[in-house]
Amino acid sequence: MIALLLRDLRLSFRAGGGFGLGLAFFLLVAVLVPLGVGPEGGTLAKIAPGILWVGALLACLLSLDRIFALDFEDGSLDLLATAPLPLEGAVAVKAAAHWLVTGLPLTLASPVLGLLLFLPERGYLWLVVSLAIGTPALSIIGAFGAALTVGLKRGGLLLGLLVLPLYVPTLIFGAEVVKRGAAGMEIGTPLAMLAAITAGATALLPFAAAAALRINLR
């Protein structure tokens, strides 16, 4: 599993479209929103939690179609399906690799981008915490969507349509954690819901994604 993880990380950096693209998109969102909304700090502070979470969500979405596409094209996916490693484990590893090159950098860079949107000081910790807990769910849900659309022509558009509705609960609770944390309110309930979504997706979706891959490989 470690060898597969390292292989996917190397392919992500060599092929591009992961680490750099996600960060660049996240930065563009943080820069363009003040230009469109206006430079008023009060207005930006109110919408900062939602904007930062939407930016992180869309940045993760950019590279989802690459999770299985390259392996499908060169035949590696067929080898993974017949390898001693269970296909469910391979799905989990690929989702982890996607998070390491997209979700983790976005989480680490989020405080800097929060400055651009005048996020209140009390919200920085909860922004990092919410992204650290919530972005793994984005990757595993995205892996499930990528498994459903692997091998389809122009599957990227269909992937977005399938995945975005599944992202909505994570977006709602993630932004709510940051909003409440920035306001000094109690964040236990939305944080617990966010963690539950990630735990549930991690426990269930690798099996669903593996089943979808087996069907698509027949």
Contact 167, 138 (CB under 8 A): yes
Cα 15 from Cα 73, distance rounded (Å): 14
Which has the closest alpha carbon to 206: 92, 82, 108, 101?
92
| DSSP label of 187 | -
Say what the pLDDT of residue 15 is: 61
Say what the pLDDT of residue 99 is: 93
Rounded to whole angstroms, the maximal C-alpha distance in the chain is 57
Say what the pLDDT of residue 55 is: 93
Cα 15 from Cα 111, distance rounded (Å): 28
Q: What is the DSSP string of 84-99?
A: SS-HHHHHHHHHHHHI
Cα 46 from Cα 163, distance rounded (Å): 27
Say what the pLDDT of residue 77 is: 81
pTM of the model: 0.90
What sign results for the dihedral spanned by CA atoms 173, 96, 12, 155?
negative
Per-residue pLDDT of the chain (218 residues; tens, 9 = 90+): 777 788 777 777 766 555 678 888 888 988 888 888 887 888 888 999 999 999 999 998 888 888 887 778 777 787 777 777 788 998 999 999 999 999 999 999 999 999 989 999 999 999 999 999 999 999 999 999 999 988 777 667 788 888 999 999 999 999 999 999 999 999 999 999 999 999 999 999 999 999 998 888 77
Say what the pLDDT of residue 142 is: 94
Count the residues in the chain: 218
Cα 137 from Cα 218, distance rounded (Å): 28
Contact 1, 93 (CB under 8 A): yes
Say what the pLDDT of residue 206 is: 95
Contact 5, 96 (CB under 8 A): yes
